[in-house]
């Protein structure tokens, strides 16, 4: 006769198996897996398109990809900044660097016209870095409508519609080898901190968009060779987020190396920076109520510090 102890032991093993599998995958992804970004360098000249490339993560990833052998198509909204970034990257080698300008917060763009100059290029990698949210103490009903819409536009709608315009061209490139579209997300999309509800919602939108588009290209009908990834990102030091560099808040340059090392890893959703993955795991373990209390306290402290500086 099976004892209660035996039943509990079996139940414990069953519950442990998913966590063990997750741990094994963690070790493989962050410590053993070799980079496969070179697989997207097929049928040269090969181009990577990076949005939000004038500073921070986007600029750093652009440099990393350029050094790996990619030609670049960069996006930004400021002509002077983009010209400076393009010249700086061109000085690193002999690959082609192009750029286009668009305010991702604006409500209307002709996306077909935007991508027309690149219709004959072999684009195999798209890195959607564009997106941000100002740090404000006002509640959503205290912000004007255009401001709120701008957050959703640059974080969700702009990458959605640009991807839509690029897809026919990406499918052509995928006939010769793999093509990847990566969306830069945020841990805010999982924890929805106070004062960042619209930003968090727009990043959650990207999670669903990644899965849906990936299923469209991989599962529905004949696979096209295009894959989609969502990158869960915690704090990263940049001009837009002036935090002290640390293990949990890497510089944009260190973070970019981790991003490029993991692109095309086969996971549809992952954190490129290993400490961010550990933080994600810890938040899941703590539960929603504890995380909500912790993030509310953290946001309050950040607001106090900002007010002291102002």
DSSP string for residues in 222-248: S--SEEEEEE-----BSSSS-----SS
Question: Which neighbouring-strand residues pair with 128?
Answer: 51, 183
Q: Quickly state the pLDDT bin for 57 (edges 50, 70, 90).
A: very high
Cβ–Cβ < 8 Å for 90, 77: no
Helix ranges (DSSP H) in 91-185:
111-115, 145-152, 158-173
Q: In the predicted model, is pLDDT for residue 240 greater than 70? A: no
CATH number of the structural domain spanning residue 85:
3.40.50.720
Distance of alpha carbon 242 from alpha carbon 156, whole angstroms:
24
Is 30 a member of any domain?
no
Distance of alpha carbon 277 from alpha carbon 262, whole angstroms:
13
pLDDT of residue 284: 80
pLDDT of residue 73: 98
Q: Is the dihedral of CA 32, 246, 301, 203 positive or negative?
A: negative
- Which has the minimum average pLDDT: 31-45, 66-80, 124-138, 152-166? 124-138
Helices 145-152 and 197-218 cross at an angle (nearest 10°) of 30
147-171 burial: b if 16+ Cβ within 10 Å, else e? eeebbbbbbbbbbbbbbebbbebbe
The whole-model pTM stands at 0.91
Residues in Cβ contact with 265 at an 8 Å cutoff, skipping those fewer than 6 apart = 29, 33, 36, 229
DSSP string for residues in 79-104: HHHHHHHHHHHHTT-SS-EEEEE--T
The sheet carrying 46-51 orders its strands as 97-101, 71-76, 46-51, 122-128, 179-184, 226-231, 269-270
pLDDT, mean over the chain: 90
Is 3 a member of any domain?
no
Is 309 a member of any domain?
no
Distance of alpha carbon 229 from alpha carbon 181, whole angstroms:
6
Q: Quickly state the pLDDT bin for 37 (edges 50, 70, 90).
A: very high
Is 19 a member of any domain?
no
pLDDT of residue 310: 59
Q: In the predicted model, is pLDDT for residue 206 greater than 90? A: yes
Is 293 a member of any domain?
no
Cβ–Cβ < 8 Å for 263, 229: yes
Is 294 a member of any domain?
no
pLDDT of residue 210: 98
Closest by Cα among 135, 128, 163 to 151: 135
Distance of alpha carbon 307 from alpha carbon 310, whole angstroms:
5
- Which has the minimum average pLDDT: 59-73, 119-133, 140-154, 202-216? 140-154
Please give the residue range of the domain that contains residue 148. 36-282
Number of domains in the chain: 1
Q: In the predicted model, is pLDDT for residue 276 greater than 90? A: yes
Closest by Cα among 155, 139, 269 to 205: 155
Residues in Cβ contact with 71 at an 8 Å cutoff, skipping those fewer than 6 apart = 45, 46, 47, 48, 95, 96, 97, 98, 121
Is 57 a member of any domain?
yes
pLDDT of residue 222: 82
Is 268 a member of any domain?
yes
pLDDT in tens, 123-143: 999 999 998 877 777 888 888
């Amino acid at each position: 006769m099976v004892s209660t102890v035996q039943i509990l032991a079996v139940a414990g093993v069953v519950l442990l198996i998913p966590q063990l599998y997750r741990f094994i995958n963690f070790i493989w992804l962050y410590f053993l897996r070799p980079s496969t970004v070179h697989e997207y360098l097929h049928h040269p000249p090969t181009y990577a398109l990076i949005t939000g490339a004038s500073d921070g993560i986007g600029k750093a990833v652009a440099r990393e990809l350029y050094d790996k052998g990619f030609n670049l198509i960069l996006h930004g909204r400021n002509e002077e900044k983009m010209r400076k970034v393009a010249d700086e990257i061109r000085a690193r080698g002999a690959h082609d660097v192009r750029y286009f300008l668009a305010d991702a917060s604006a409500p209307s763009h002709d996306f077909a016209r935007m991508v027309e100059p690149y219709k004959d290029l072999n684009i195999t990698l798209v890195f959607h870095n564009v997106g941000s949210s100002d740090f404000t103490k006002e509640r959503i009903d205290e912000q004007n409508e255009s401001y709120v819409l701008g957050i959703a536009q640059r974080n969700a709608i702009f990458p959605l519609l640009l991807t839509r315009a690029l897809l026919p061209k990406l499918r052509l490139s995928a006939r010769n080898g793999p093509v990847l579209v990566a969306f830069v997300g945020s841990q805010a999309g999982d924890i929805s901190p106070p004062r960042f509800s619209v930003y968090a919602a727009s990043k959650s939108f990207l999670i669903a968009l990644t899965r849906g588009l990936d299923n469209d290209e991989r599962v529905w009908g004949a696979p096209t060779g295009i894959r989609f990834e969502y990158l869960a990102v915690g704090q990263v030091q940049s001009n837009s987020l002036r935090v002290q560099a640390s293990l949990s808040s890497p510089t944009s340059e260190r973070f970019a190396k981790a991003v490029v090392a993991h692109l095309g890893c086969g996971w549809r959703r992952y954190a490129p920076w290993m400490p961010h993955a550990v933080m994600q795991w810890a938040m899941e373990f703590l539960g929603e109520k504890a995380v909500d209390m912790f993030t509310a306290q953290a946001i309050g402290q950040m607001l106090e510090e900002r007010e002291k500086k102002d």
